[in-house]
Chain A
Protein backbone atom coordinates (compact mmCIF):
# COMPACT_ATOMS: atom_id res chain seq x y z
CA UNK A 1 0.00 0.00 0.00
CA UNK A 2 1.13 3.51 -0.77
CA UNK A 3 1.96 5.89 2.04
CA UNK A 4 0.55 8.87 0.18
CA UNK A 5 -2.20 10.48 2.18
CA UNK A 6 -5.55 11.28 0.59
CA UNK A 7 -5.39 14.72 -1.00
CA UNK A 8 -8.35 17.04 -1.21
CA UNK A 9 -8.84 17.86 -4.88
CA UNK A 10 -11.75 20.24 -4.33
CA UNK A 11 -11.66 24.01 -4.41
CA UNK A 12 -14.64 26.31 -3.90
CA UNK A 13 -15.59 28.20 -7.04
CA UNK A 14 -13.40 28.71 -10.10
CA UNK A 15 -9.75 27.68 -10.35
CA UNK A 16 -7.86 30.95 -10.60
CA UNK A 17 -5.44 31.18 -13.56
CA UNK A 18 -2.95 32.78 -11.11
CA UNK A 19 -3.08 29.58 -9.03
CA UNK A 20 -2.30 27.59 -12.18
CA UNK A 21 0.60 29.91 -12.97
CA UNK A 22 1.97 29.59 -9.43
CA UNK A 23 1.63 25.84 -9.63
CA UNK A 24 3.74 25.75 -12.79
CA UNK A 25 6.32 28.10 -11.26
CA UNK A 26 6.71 25.89 -8.17
CA UNK A 27 8.06 23.09 -10.39
CA UNK A 28 11.17 25.02 -11.43
CA UNK A 29 13.05 23.55 -8.46
CA UNK A 30 12.18 19.99 -9.57
CA UNK A 31 14.94 19.73 -12.15
CA UNK A 32 14.49 16.01 -12.91
CA UNK A 33 11.31 16.95 -14.75
CA UNK A 34 11.56 17.32 -18.52
CA UNK A 35 7.90 17.52 -19.51
CA UNK A 36 4.64 18.80 -18.11
CA UNK A 37 1.20 18.00 -19.45
CA UNK A 38 -1.72 20.13 -18.33
CA UNK A 39 -5.44 19.79 -18.93
CA UNK A 40 -7.87 22.53 -17.98
CA UNK A 41 -11.61 22.20 -18.15
CA UNK A 42 -13.53 25.42 -18.81
CA UNK A 43 -17.26 26.04 -18.39
CA UNK A 44 -18.76 26.30 -21.87
CA UNK A 45 -21.53 28.79 -22.67
CA UNK A 46 -23.72 26.16 -24.32
CA UNK A 47 -26.98 27.08 -25.98
CA UNK A 48 -30.26 25.23 -25.50
CA UNK A 49 -33.40 26.55 -27.21
CA UNK A 50 -32.02 30.07 -27.37
CA UNK A 51 -30.90 30.10 -23.73
CA UNK A 52 -27.25 30.21 -22.77
CA UNK A 53 -25.45 28.53 -19.88
CA UNK A 54 -24.20 31.22 -17.52
CA UNK A 55 -22.59 28.95 -14.92
CA UNK A 56 -22.25 25.38 -13.71
CA UNK A 57 -22.83 24.52 -10.07
CA UNK A 58 -20.79 21.47 -9.07
CA UNK A 59 -21.63 19.14 -6.19
CA UNK A 60 -19.98 15.91 -5.14
CA UNK A 61 -20.24 12.95 -2.81
CA UNK A 62 -16.88 14.03 -1.48
CA UNK A 63 -15.99 11.04 0.69
CA UNK A 64 -16.30 8.64 -2.25
CA UNK A 65 -14.80 11.07 -4.78
CA UNK A 66 -11.63 11.62 -2.74
CA UNK A 67 -11.21 7.93 -2.01
CA UNK A 68 -11.68 7.09 -5.69
CA UNK A 69 -9.32 9.84 -6.86
CA UNK A 70 -6.70 8.52 -4.46
CA UNK A 71 -7.06 5.07 -6.00
CA UNK A 72 -6.79 6.47 -9.54
CA UNK A 73 -3.70 8.44 -8.47
CA UNK A 74 -2.01 5.29 -7.14
CA UNK A 75 -2.86 3.30 -10.25
CA UNK A 76 -1.52 6.08 -12.49
CA UNK A 77 1.73 6.27 -10.50
CA UNK A 78 2.09 2.49 -10.83
CA UNK A 79 1.48 2.64 -14.58
CA UNK A 80 3.53 5.70 -15.61
CA UNK A 81 6.93 7.02 -14.45
CA UNK A 82 5.61 10.35 -13.19
CA UNK A 83 7.48 12.81 -11.03
CA UNK A 84 4.31 14.45 -9.80
CA UNK A 85 0.61 14.74 -10.36
CA UNK A 86 -1.84 17.40 -9.22
CA UNK A 87 -5.62 17.41 -9.65
CA UNK A 88 -7.98 20.26 -8.71
CA UNK A 89 -11.73 20.30 -9.32
CA UNK A 90 -14.23 23.04 -8.54
CA UNK A 91 -17.26 22.74 -6.29
CA UNK A 92 -20.03 25.34 -6.19
CA UNK A 93 -20.61 27.94 -8.87
CA UNK A 94 -18.22 28.43 -11.78
CA UNK A 95 -19.17 30.98 -14.45
CA UNK A 96 -18.96 30.37 -18.19
CA UNK A 97 -15.40 30.96 -19.34
CA UNK A 98 -13.88 30.08 -15.97
CA UNK A 99 -11.72 27.05 -15.21
CA UNK A 100 -13.33 24.19 -13.26
CA UNK A 101 -10.73 21.42 -13.67
CA UNK A 102 -6.93 21.50 -13.58
CA UNK A 103 -4.87 18.33 -14.08
CA UNK A 104 -1.09 18.70 -14.05
CA UNK A 105 1.27 15.75 -14.77
CA UNK A 106 5.05 15.91 -14.84
CA UNK A 107 7.68 13.37 -15.86
CA UNK A 108 11.26 13.18 -17.11
CA UNK A 109 10.06 12.84 -20.71
CA UNK A 110 6.92 13.96 -22.49
CA UNK A 111 5.09 10.74 -23.29
CA UNK A 112 4.24 9.49 -19.80
CA UNK A 113 3.09 12.98 -18.80
CA UNK A 114 0.82 13.32 -21.85
CA UNK A 115 -0.62 9.79 -21.61
CA UNK A 116 -1.17 9.95 -17.84
CA UNK A 117 -2.86 13.34 -18.09
CA UNK A 118 -5.30 12.11 -20.75
CA UNK A 119 -6.07 8.94 -18.81
CA UNK A 120 -6.72 10.81 -15.56
CA UNK A 121 -9.13 13.22 -17.22
CA UNK A 122 -11.10 10.34 -18.78
CA UNK A 123 -11.16 8.36 -15.55
CA UNK A 124 -12.17 11.20 -13.26
CA UNK A 125 -15.06 12.17 -15.55
CA UNK A 126 -16.30 8.57 -15.56
CA UNK A 127 -15.55 7.47 -12.01
CA UNK A 128 -15.80 10.40 -9.58
CA UNK A 129 -19.23 11.13 -8.10
CA UNK A 130 -19.41 14.78 -9.16
CA UNK A 131 -22.44 16.44 -10.75
CA UNK A 132 -22.69 19.64 -12.76
CA UNK A 133 -25.90 21.66 -12.82
CA UNK A 134 -25.94 23.95 -15.84
CA UNK A 135 -27.60 27.22 -14.90
CA UNK A 136 -29.00 29.34 -17.69
CA UNK A 137 -29.14 33.13 -17.84
CA UNK A 138 -32.89 33.00 -16.99
CA UNK A 139 -32.09 30.95 -13.83
CA UNK A 140 -33.61 27.73 -15.19
CA UNK A 141 -31.27 24.75 -15.16
CA UNK A 142 -30.50 21.33 -16.57
CA UNK A 143 -28.17 18.64 -15.28
CA UNK A 144 -24.97 18.25 -17.26
CA UNK A 145 -24.30 14.88 -18.91
CA UNK A 146 -20.81 13.70 -19.78
CA UNK A 147 -20.18 12.24 -23.23
Chain B
Protein backbone atom coordinates (compact mmCIF):
# COMPACT_ATOMS: atom_id res chain seq x y z
CA UNK B 1 0.00 0.00 0.00
CA UNK B 2 1.34 3.41 -0.95
CA UNK B 3 0.57 6.81 0.55
CA UNK B 4 1.76 10.33 -0.16
CA UNK B 5 3.72 12.23 2.47
CA UNK B 6 4.05 15.98 2.62
CA UNK B 7 5.81 18.02 5.27
CA UNK B 8 5.93 21.60 6.48
CA UNK B 9 8.13 24.09 8.31
CA UNK B 10 11.37 22.79 9.79
CA UNK B 11 10.42 19.19 8.94
CA UNK B 12 10.28 20.03 5.22
CA UNK B 13 14.05 20.56 5.38
CA UNK B 14 14.71 16.86 5.93
CA UNK B 15 11.56 15.05 4.78
CA UNK B 16 10.78 15.82 1.16
CA UNK B 17 7.32 15.28 -0.29
CA UNK B 18 7.29 11.68 -1.45
CA UNK B 19 5.27 8.56 -2.10
CA UNK B 20 6.09 5.71 0.28
CA UNK B 21 5.18 2.04 0.46
CA UNK B 22 3.77 1.34 3.93
CA UNK B 23 2.56 -2.21 3.37
CA UNK B 24 1.64 -3.72 6.74
CA UNK B 25 0.80 -0.36 8.33
CA UNK B 26 -2.89 0.31 8.78
CA UNK B 27 -3.26 3.20 11.22
CA UNK B 28 -1.63 6.46 12.26
CA UNK B 29 -0.11 5.06 15.49
CA UNK B 30 1.79 2.47 13.46
CA UNK B 31 2.66 5.09 10.87
CA UNK B 32 4.27 7.27 13.59
CA UNK B 33 6.53 4.39 14.60
CA UNK B 34 7.47 3.86 10.95
CA UNK B 35 8.12 7.58 10.40
CA UNK B 36 10.27 7.94 13.52
CA UNK B 37 12.35 4.95 12.47
CA UNK B 38 12.70 6.17 8.88
CA UNK B 39 13.30 9.81 9.79
CA UNK B 40 15.03 9.76 13.23
CA UNK B 41 15.07 13.60 13.37
CA UNK B 42 11.33 13.75 14.10
CA UNK B 43 11.55 11.38 17.08
CA UNK B 44 13.45 14.20 18.85
CA UNK B 45 10.78 16.83 18.23
CA UNK B 46 7.10 17.61 18.62
CA UNK B 47 5.04 17.05 15.49
CA UNK B 48 1.46 16.52 14.40
CA UNK B 49 -0.03 14.51 11.57
CA UNK B 50 -2.88 15.35 9.25
CA UNK B 51 -4.64 12.68 7.23
CA UNK B 52 -6.37 13.83 4.04
CA UNK B 53 -6.37 17.44 5.29
CA UNK B 54 -7.74 16.61 8.76
CA UNK B 55 -5.63 17.02 11.89
CA UNK B 56 -5.18 13.68 13.63
CA UNK B 57 -6.28 13.76 17.28
CA UNK B 58 -6.51 10.02 17.87
CA UNK B 59 -5.42 6.82 16.16
CA UNK B 60 -7.03 6.67 12.71
CA UNK B 61 -7.18 4.06 9.95
CA UNK B 62 -5.06 4.70 6.84
CA UNK B 63 -5.96 3.59 3.31
CA UNK B 64 -3.96 3.39 0.11
CA UNK B 65 -3.39 6.73 -1.65
CA UNK B 66 -4.11 8.68 1.52
CA UNK B 67 -2.30 11.97 2.01
CA UNK B 68 -0.36 12.31 5.25
CA UNK B 69 1.10 15.65 6.35
CA UNK B 70 3.84 15.90 8.98
CA UNK B 71 3.81 19.23 10.77
CA UNK B 72 6.05 20.80 13.44
CA UNK B 73 4.53 23.11 16.11
CA UNK B 74 2.69 26.05 14.57
CA UNK B 75 4.29 29.49 14.64
CA UNK B 76 1.95 31.85 12.84
CA UNK B 77 0.90 35.33 13.88
Contacts and interface: CB of A to CB of B under 8 A. Distances in A.
Interface of A: 41, 58-61, 63-65, 67-68, 89, 100-101, 121, 124-133, 143-146
B50 A61 contact: yes
Contacts, number: 68
Contacts of A64: 50, 53-55, 69
Nearest to B77: A125
A131 B53 contact: no
Residue in B10, B71, B75 with the greatest tally of chain A CB atoms within 10 Å = B75
Contacts of B8: 59-61, 129, 131
A131 B77 contact: no
Contact of A130 (B54, B55, B77): B77
A130 B69 contact: no
The interface residues of chain A, by DSSP majority, are classed as mixed
Contacts of B77: 41, 89, 100-101, 121, 124-125, 130, 146
Contacts of A125: 74-77
Interface string B51-77: 001110000000000000101111111
Given A67-B53, A89-B77, A146-B75, 19 more contacts: A59-B9, A61-B50, A61-B69, A61-B71, A63-B53, A64-B53, A100-B77, A101-B76, A121-B77, A125-B74, A125-B75, A129-B8, A129-B71, A130-B76, A131-B72, A132-B75, A145-B73, A146-B73, A146-B74
B74 A131 contact: yes
Residue in A89, A127, A129 with the greatest tally of chain B CB atoms within 10 Å = A129
A121 B71 CA distance: 21
